[in-house]
Amino acid sequence: MTELQRLKGFAKALHGPARWDIIDIIGAGTATTDTIREEMDERGYDFGRSGLYYHLSELSDAGLIEVAGYVEEGRGAPTKEWTLRQQTIEIDLVNEDG
C-alpha cells in the first residue's frame, strides 16, 4: 500500500465527528460496543446498532481500531471489545524515493 492510499484510507475513516468521538471513547484502553453506543447516545448521536457497526467497520478497515476480545454479558452472544491499533498516525508527505 502506498503512502497516498494509506492517507486516503485514514481520511475516509476519519471523516465526520462521530468517528473521532468513537476514537475518543475507546481512548488508551478498550471499550465494548455497548459502551460505545451508550456514550454516543449521551453525546447526542442517534445510531442504531447497524449504524454504529458501520462506523466501527470503517475505522477497523482503515486499521485504526481492532477487536481486542469478547465480553460475555449475560445471555446471548458476547459483545466485542475494541481497542486502538495505534495512537498516532505518521504520514510522509514527501516521497524521497522518487
- Write out pLDDT tens, residues 20-74: 999 999 999 999 999 999 999 999 999 888 999 999 999 999 999 999 999 987 7
Q: Which residues on neighbouring strands pair with residue 81, listed in sequence order? A: 32, 69
Domains in the chain, number: 1
Read off the pTM: 0.85
Predicted confidence band at 96 (pLDDT cuts at 50, 70, 90)? low
Long-range (24+ apart) CB contacts under 8 A made by 10-17 are 10/62, 10/64, 10/89, 10/91, 12/58, 12/62, 13/58, 13/59, 13/61, 13/62, 13/64, 14/62, 14/64
12 pLDDT higher than 70: yes
Return the CATH number at 37.
Answer: 1.10.10.10
Residue at 90 is within a domain: no
Which residue blocks in the chain are alpha helix, DSSP H?
3-13, 17-26, 33-42, 49-61
Task: Please give the residue range of the domain that contains residue 27.
Answer: 3-84
